[in-house]
Amino acid sequence: MLKDVLGKEGEKVFLLGNEAIARGAIESGIDIVSCYPGTPSSEITDTLAQACSHLRGKMDYFVEYSTNEKVAFETGIGASLAGKRALVTMKHVGLNVAADSLFSFAYVGARGGFVVVTADDPTMHSSQNEQDNRWYGKSAKLPVLEPSGVNEAKELVKVAFDLSERFGLPMIFRTYTRLSHSSGIVDLGEIPEKRFEKVGWERRPETDVVLPAHARKLKLVLLEKLEKIENHFDKFEFNWIEDGDGDTGIIACGLSYSYVKEAIENLRSKNDFDSPPVLKLSSMHPVPEKLIERFTDGLKKVLVVEEVDPFIEMHVKALDVEVLGKLSGDMPMNYEYNVPVVEMGIARVFGLEPSRDYEAIMNRELASIAPPRPPVLCPGCPHTATFYAIKKAGGEVLPSDIGCYTLGINKPLEAVDTTICMGASAGVANGLSYFVDGKIVATIGDSTFFHAGMPPLANAVYNNLNYTLIIMDNSTTGMTGHQPHPGTGIRACGEGRRVSLEDVVKGLGVEFVEVVNSYNVRKLIESIRRAIEHDGVAVVISRHPCAILWTRERKRKGIEVRAFEVAENCTVCMKCITDFTCPAIFVDDGKVGIDAALCVGCAVCASICPEKAIKPKGVGR
Amino acid sequence: MNARLNILIVGVGGQGVLTSSNIIARAAMRKGMNVLTSETHGMAQRGGSVEVHVRIGDVHSPLIPFGSADIVIALEPVEALRYAHYMNENTMIILNSRKIKPTTVNVGLAEYPEIEEIIERLKTVTEKIKVVDASAIAEKVARVQATNVVVLGMLAKVLEGRFLTLEDLEYGVRAFLPERLVEINLKALKAGYESLS
């Protein structure tokens, strides 16, 4: 809660992991935060955006929702080169987008503190893959930190800024779903006093221009910095050894440390077993080899417990000790950890019995009669109307993109054929259009279009390709919590200017551009038909605010939200269920009804009903 | 009970599961106890199934281990079944009997089981089930949106003074909810507490 995030020094407050990271940034006296939202990272910058105006005049900083992660990263680079502190936040796949900047900035080095927070998503709760971003540290030759809990997350952000400036290195701060979306008690520190202050520009082409002659020198400088910070990590206060008995030890990485602690306690309640030596590790790269050697000295075996990939395990393998973990088959290679997973792994390695029969518990079949409750597009969602129109207009090949609208994959819409990554709807449509016989209608959200949809659309114009792109403009970044984007003209903190979608599309050279209200299904179908018939790339902007925001806005203005109902003349043709879908429409006892508590009054179902049997509540009785 | 309390709250996106966990957390902090919670975000929020783990006392992991929930609060009946792997033979279940049918049922792709069948299944794990109509109590004293707070009153009752009291949860309501919602939710909390004998 914002009130807690803004609490006074010395207070103990209850914060979400992402809020703790935001507070850490405030206590670090950041000068700017930039991001593209993505679960599970979004609340970090959302919190800093909310806090911004409250701290104005005391601890000044800029907040930027950038068009994409690469842009966010480069905004951070600019700040760092000006000697300012920059926090950049994104989800794990966001760093793929920013990777080009990351690798080169490693060579340039940080001037003002630079911390990029990347939030991994083990088990893929809301992501398309399960990548482990510690490899970016290895590959780009940059330090990676990973906290073991909510309070430590806040502290480690501050340390990351200090280390970044001390060693001249951009820092990668790795969090993941279970840490970002857990809450715990946080000890608040001091918020520094700081005003906005412009600085003079100092040219340093020998480091800031990575032309080959410079880069060849800078690589050696980077390696030297990395060696220095590795020595620091050998004595780092966030890495520690806990003594124990036996000749088998455990290396517990980040939040896995909490699972290891609890698993050992559970195992001790069931078995005659002394706590083994534990190395708690929060510096993931460079791997502090001397510290690990000190820990493994005298041990025969060591079990590594870490999220996603066998990253530390592979590094430790080079040492003179038997290493167990994912590669040895003692820990699972896929999906996120928890106490039972870790407890079963430790039990296997130490020859113990788990405190509970977890496998039997997991195999209980109680939920077999529970009807599935998948996430659905909200009542009144303009995307539902758009997908309905695409199918009616004759769309046959349907590449789509990343956002709420990915749910258009579900029955009865089934209007999403591919989802790869941000912007890939238009990108994949380019390739499909060379070879596939069928009417290609690609869908992309407004925020996603600004993020990565413009280059593939320019490509389509340039290469004379032929397909229809529907920009589903709900005037927000819906999925991640309604962040603004260039098309809204609203900024995170302060005034902004709107970038017109239709102007952008026309500017890219698209000749067929039409804008239609998403709720006007008849017009939308006609427009999409024309777009499909158009020879060349065509764009239809289907525009209506996200139903959640629309309803919120009407309530704020005191406008009545009028629900719809099914009248007597319903013939139960079921078109509203078999062709269309809305969580507010249900079938009970062979009759169709509308849940007035859920209906937002968009009237789309009324417009598609062949019998005109759906009417505003209280009308036509 | 031992030095830790594991409460799992499950329901449907929009039922205020997160609010409940935040109120409990502040109540626990008032007592000077350690507290950790873990929640579901993102895609699951869109009318999907939601779970929040609340752990009080001597705990490290934000997630309740399987089979280790002391109390399960199910704001919706079938959601209790979906999270049965957190229960053991001593788990106390507070089951709100008000159904929220998923779209899969609304459009005839799945069936919603009878409440008796749900309870029968849960009883294969634990006998300690309190079936309540918290939604009806909420509608009577406040509005249906306060169901999540009514069940917290019930929680205070079943805890019988261990870990958290009604006063602690009243503090939690005051500390977490916006001021305009405090009075009505204190009523809901009390009504929930008094509804259980």
A375 and B109 within 8 Å at the Cβ level: the answer is no
**Whether A39 contacts chain B with CB within 8 A:** yes
Of B102, B106, B125, the CB nearest to A587: B106
Quick check: A280 and A291 in contact, CB under 8 A?
no
A3 touches chain B (CB under 8 A): no
> Does domain A240-365 correspond to CATH entry 3.10.25.10?
no
* Interacting residues of B161 by C-beta distance below 8 A, sequence separation 6+: none
* Residues A182, B12: C-beta atoms closer than 8 Å: no
Cα–Cα distance between A225 and A107 in angstroms, integer? 10
Please give, rounded to a whole number of angstroms, the shortest distance from the CA of B194 to a CA of chain A.
29
Does the pLDDT at position B99 exceed 70? yes
- pLDDT at residue number B109: 86
Per the structure, how many domains does chain B have?
Answer: 1
User: Over the Cα atoms of chain A, what is R_g?
Assistant: 27
Is residue A140 classed as helix, strand or coil in its secondary structure?
Answer: helix
| Shortest Cα–Cα distance, A338 to chain B (Å) | 7
- Write the CATH number for B23: 3.40.920.10
Q: Which of A80, A133, A64, A72 is nearest to A98 (CA)?
A: A72
Give strand pairing partners of B50.
B11
Residue ranges per structural domain of chain A: 1-234, 240-365, 382-552, 560-616
- β-pairing verdict for B71-74 and A614-616: unpaired
Shortest distance between the Cα of B131 and any Cα of chain A, in A, equals 17
Q: Residue A114's Cα: distance from chain center in Å?
A: 20
Question: Cβ A366–B63 below 8 Å, yes or no?
Answer: no
pLDDT of B41? 66
User: Do the chains contact at B121 and A369, CB–CB below 8 Å?
Assistant: yes
pLDDT value of residue A620: 42
Classified as helix, coil or strand, A441 is strand
The average pLDDT across B41-69 equals 87
CB A608 within 8 A of CB A581: no
Cβ contact A440:A396 at 8 Å:
yes
Domains A1-234 and A560-616 alike in fold? no
Both tokens of A55, joined, read 């701290």
Please report residues of B whose CB lies closer than 8 A to that of A39: 41-43
The owner of tokens 């060579």 is A107
Considering CB atoms only, which of B12, B36, B101 is closest to A182? Answer: B36
- Which CATH code for domain A1-234? 3.40.50.970
Query: A385 or B49: whose pLDDT is higher?
Result: A385
The DSSP code sequence of A549-607 is HHHHHHHHTT---PPEEE-TT-----HHHHT---TTEEEETTEEEE-TTT-----HHHH
Task: Tell how many helices (H) and how many strands (E) occur in chain B.
Answer: 8, 6
Stretches in chain A below the pLDDT threshold 50: 620-621
Query: Which of B7, B30, B31, B41 to mutate to test binding with chain A, by most A CBs within 10 Å of its CB?
Result: B41
- Residues on chain A touching B106 (C-beta within 8 angstroms): 583, 585-587
Question: ipTM exceeding 0.95?
Answer: yes
Res B46 pLDDT > 70: no
Q: How confident is the model at residue A619, as a pLDDT?
A: 56
- Which tokens in the block code for residue A360? 């039997």
Which chain A residue has its CA at the smallest distance from B144's CA?
A: A597
Class of domain A560-616: alpha beta
pLDDT in tens, A533-559: 999 999 999 999 999 999 999 999 999
Return d(Cα B19, Cα A136) in angstroms, integer: 37
Closest Cα in chain A, distance from residue B167 (Å): 19
Q: Is A250 within 8 Å of A299 (Cβ atoms)?
A: no
Does A39 contact B42 at a Cβ distance shorter than 8 Å? yes
* Cβ-based contacts of B66 with chain A (< 8 Å): 338, 340, 356, 358, 361-362
Nearest CA in chain B to A597: B144
How far is the C-alpha of A116 from the C-alpha of A113, rounded, in Å? Answer: 10
Token pair belonging to A468: 């229809």
Interacting residues of A6 by C-beta distance below 8 A, sequence separation 6+: A51, A54, A55
Residues 328-357 (A) with a CB less than 8 A from some CB of B: 338-340, 343, 356
Q: How far apart are CA B7 and CA B22, in angstroms?
A: 12
Structure tokens at B47: 């009318």
Tens digit of each residue's pLDDT (9 = 90 or more) over A371-406: 999 888 999 999 999 999 999 999 999 999 999 999
CA distance A18 to A306: 20
Please give the Cα distance from A161 to A192 (Å, whole number).
14
Smallest Cα–Cα separation from B19: which of B85, B88, B73? B73
Q: Please check if A378 is assigned to a binding site.
A: no
Helix (H) or strand (E) holding A165: helix A150-167
* Interface probe with B: pick from A373, A413, A551, A600, most Cβ of B within 10 Å: A373
Q: Which residues of A touch B98 (CB under 8 A)?
A: none
User: Is residue B44 pLDDT above 60, yes or no?
Assistant: no
CB A548 within 8 A of CB A479: no
Q: Which residue is it, tokens 């709250």?
A: B9
Confidence (pLDDT) at B2: 57
Buried b (16+ CB within 10 A) or exposed e, A245-284: eeebbbbbbbbbbbbbbbbbbbbeeeeebebbbbbbbbbb
Distant-in-sequence, close-in-space partners of A273: CB < 8 Å, separation ≥ 6 = A267, A350, A352
- The CATH number of the structural domain formed by A382-552 is 3.40.50.970
* H/E run at residue A472: strand A468-473
- State the Cα–Cα distance between residues A318 and A110, nearest whole angstrom: 31
Nearest CA in chain B to A479: B42
Buried/exposed A609-619: b ≥16 CB within 10 Å, e otherwise: beeebbbeeee
Query: Across the interface, do B84 and A366 touch by the CB < 8 Å criterion?
Result: yes
Q: Across the interface, do A367 and B81 touch by the CB < 8 Å criterion? A: yes
Q: Does A477 touch chain B (CB under 8 A)?
A: no
Q: Beta A144-145 vs A62-65: how paired, if at all?
A: unpaired
- Chain A: residue whose CA lies nearest to B120: A366
What CA–CA distance (Å, rounded) separates A127 from A621? Answer: 47
Rounded to an integer, what distance in angstroms lies between the CA atom of residue A453 and that of residue A312? 37
Would you say A35 is a known binding-site residue? no
**pLDDT at position B1, please?**
43
Domain that holds residue B139: 4-195
